[in-house]
């Protein structure tokens, strides 16, 4: 939240920008009636402006009957200035420079792509896929001549509601679902609807890198919270929510990307309670709950939510049919109309053909049986990766699902040379700093075991281990 960020807002005077910013947050109800606002000093530091600027903004708020002053105490919110959640203004589209760090790595052509957390296309049931495509054209002969509705095909949304009721006991109506073109689009829509410049956003550290890029582009003030093998330090989450009043917490609690960690059920329930207390929306991104190698993961946070504070994003893209790019958002109706409006600005609905193919393909018995085979195939690939890397002194927690190993290399490893030399040898992986809002994690890398076949995995890993030893001979226990 720096001065140059403030100057992106269309307002002539700095104190007016601070005024707009504070008023927006008061209107949204981030501080309740009669709640004390941050001190002039705290805000001046936070916004990187002079104290006099904050003082002038507060005076203007007082003049306009938004706040009142208590002698020797500070500024307090006057009642009746907050709007209900569903009366927020339209989103601002900011002019921030757009970055996409992960996609840059993905563009590197290589034989051994440990950087891609997608399924090996050979693991998909390609032979029977074409049968479903044909069936869709027979059932809906005019499918290519029609747009979907913006919210998504009703038949698909109803089938998904039925699926969620059966599987998780979520009781949803089709009106509470929005079909998106991948969960990447879902994150983007949510950010556009909920985030304006300088809003605080909690992000896990590390986290899914494109989410950092999306929230940064919105001008968010990113507040990191560490994720550990057994979840979060919930006292810290609460402290951060109290201190920064984040608008949302974006999280990926099931087979987290990049670490593979799973947030336990007790924490999920508590997290929903904390979020409710501090009016912080939890954006739960859930791209691979079916890819478990031991027991099924806990229920999504969404299933603990009764007050509408969880927005649930579910992708069906990564292991069902990446080429169809189908995902969905389930949320409280108060958010839905804003999301539909935002989606209508980016496309005319996710392609109907893709939605219909997905509908017939995903819910068929064959596909559900195929998922069981997929879990076994991926568990074998995880084991191969762990076996090949066991000769190194690299460290990781063995994932119980998902697509990746999150690995710590010795600090002395020259990471940049390792990456550039790997690329020369047609090997890619993702450096850990890309997943960190603070761009640290310099000794960490993400290695995906899902994209290469078993033979390629073994060959590529042997080459990578050999290469790392040439750069870092003291990390080689056997000395070769």
Ligand X SMILES: Cc1ncc(COP(=O)(O)O)c(C=O)c1O
Residues of the shown chain interacting with ligand X in the complex, contacts defined by CB under 6 A:
117, 182-184, 208, 252, 257, 285, 287, 315, 317-318, 327
Q: How far is the CB of 52 from ligand X (least distance, A)?
A: 44
CB atoms inside a 10 Å sphere around CB 68? 13
Name the strand (E) or helix (H) holding 197: none
Q: How far is the CB of 306 from ligand X (least distance, A)?
A: 25
Is residue 301 within 8 A of residue 284, CB to CB? The reply is: yes
Find, among 460, 267, 478, the residue nearest to 381 by Cα: 460
Q: Tokens representing 422? A: 């790997």
Q: How far is the CB of 261 from ligand X (least distance, A)?
A: 12
The angle at the Cα of 130, spanning 368 to 378, to the nearest 5 degrees, equals 40
Q: How far is the CB of 403 from ligand X (least distance, A)?
A: 8
For ligand X, the closer CB: 222 or 418: 222
Q: How far is the CB of 288 from ligand X (least distance, A)?
A: 7
User: Parallel, antiparallel, or unpaired for β 326-330 and 177-181?
Assistant: antiparallel
For ligand X, the closer CB: 183 or 354: 183
Q: 142-149 long-range contacts, Cβ below 8 Å, gap at least 24?
A: 143/352, 143/353, 143/356, 144/353, 146/352, 147/348, 147/349, 147/352, 148/179, 148/348, 148/349, 148/350, 148/351, 148/352, 148/355, 149/349
Find, among 9, 123, 124, the residue nearest to 57 by Cα: 9
Q: How far is the CB of 210 from ligand X (least distance, A)?
A: 7
Find, among 419, 472, 463, the residue nearest to 442 by Cα: 419
When CB distances to ligand X are compared, the closest residue is: 182
Q: How far is the CB of 348 from ligand X (least distance, A)?
A: 19
For ligand X, the closer CB: 117 or 357: 117
For ligand X, the closer CB: 148 or 392: 148
For ligand X, the closer CB: 309 or 316: 316
For ligand X, the closer CB: 303 or 317: 317
For ligand X, the closer CB: 77 or 281: 281
For ligand X, the closer CB: 66 or 446: 446
Distance CA 308, CA 93 (A): 25
The DSSP annotation for 129-147 comes to: HHHHHHHHHHH-TTGGG-P
Q: How many angstroms separate the Cα of 431 from the Cα of each of 161, 209, 210, 254, 428? A: 38, 11, 14, 22, 10
Q: How far is the CB of 117 from ligand X (least distance, A)?
A: 5
């Amino acid at each position: 939240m720096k001065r140059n960020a403030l100057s992106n807002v269309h307002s002539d005077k700095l104190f007016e920008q601070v005024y707009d910013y504070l008023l927006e947050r008061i209107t949204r109800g981030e501080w309740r009636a009669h709640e004390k606002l941050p001190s002039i000093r705290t805000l001046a530091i936070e916004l990187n402006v002079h104290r006099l600027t904050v003082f002038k903004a507060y005076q203007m708020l007082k003049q306009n009957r938004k706040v009142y002053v208590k002698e020797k105490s500070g500024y307090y919110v006057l009642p009746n200035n907050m709007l209900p959640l569903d009366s927020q203004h339209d989103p601002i589209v900011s002019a921030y420079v757009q970055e996409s760090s992960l996609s840059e790595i993905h563009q590197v052509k290589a034989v051994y792509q440990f950087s891609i957390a997608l399924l090996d296309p050979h693991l998909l049931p390609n032979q029977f896929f074409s049968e479903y495509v044909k069936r869709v054209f027979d059932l809906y002969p005019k499918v290519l001549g029609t747009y979907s509705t913006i919210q998504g095909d009703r038949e698909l949304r109803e089938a998904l509601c039925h699926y969620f009721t059966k599987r998780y006991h979520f009781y949803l109506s089709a009106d509470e679902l929005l079909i998106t073109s991948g969960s990447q689009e879902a994150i983007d829509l949510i950010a556009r609807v909920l985030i304006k410049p300088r809003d605080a956003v909690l992000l896990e550290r590390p986290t899914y890198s494109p989410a950092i890029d999306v929230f940064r582009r919105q001008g968010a003030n990113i507040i990191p919270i560490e994720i550990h093998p057994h979840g979060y330090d919930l006292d810290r989450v609460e402290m951060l929510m109290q201190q920064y009043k984040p608008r949302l917490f974006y999280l990926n609690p099931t087979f987290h990307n990049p670490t593979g960690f799973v947030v336990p059920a007790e924490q999920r329930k508590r997290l929903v309670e904390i979020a409710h207390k501090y009016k912080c929306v939890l954006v739960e991104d859930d791209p691979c709950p079916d890819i478990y190698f031991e027991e099924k993961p806990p229920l999504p946070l969404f299933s603990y939510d009764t007050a509408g504070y969880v927005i649930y994003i579910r992708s069906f893209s990564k292991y069902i049919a990446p080429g169809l790019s189908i995902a969905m958002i389930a949320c409280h109706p108060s958010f839905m109309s804003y999301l539909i409006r935002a989606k209508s600005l980016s496309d005319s609905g996710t392609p109907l053909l893709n939605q219909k193919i997905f509908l017939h393909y995903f819910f068929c018995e064959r596909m559900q049986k195929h998922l069981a085979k997929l879990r076994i195939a991926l568990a074998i690939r995880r084991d191969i990766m762990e076996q090949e890397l066991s000769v190194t002194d690299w460290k990781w927690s063995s994932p119980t699902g998902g697509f990746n190993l999150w690995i710590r290399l010795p600090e002395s490893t020259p990471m940049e040379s390792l990456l550039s030399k790997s690329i020369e040898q047609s090997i890619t992986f993702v450096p850990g700093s890309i997943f960190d809002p603070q761009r640290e994690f310099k000794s960490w890398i993400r290695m995906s075991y899902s994209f290469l076949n078993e033979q390629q995995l073994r060959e590529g890993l042997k080459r990578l281990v050999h290469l790392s030893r040439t750069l870092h001979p003291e990390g080689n226990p056997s000395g070769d």
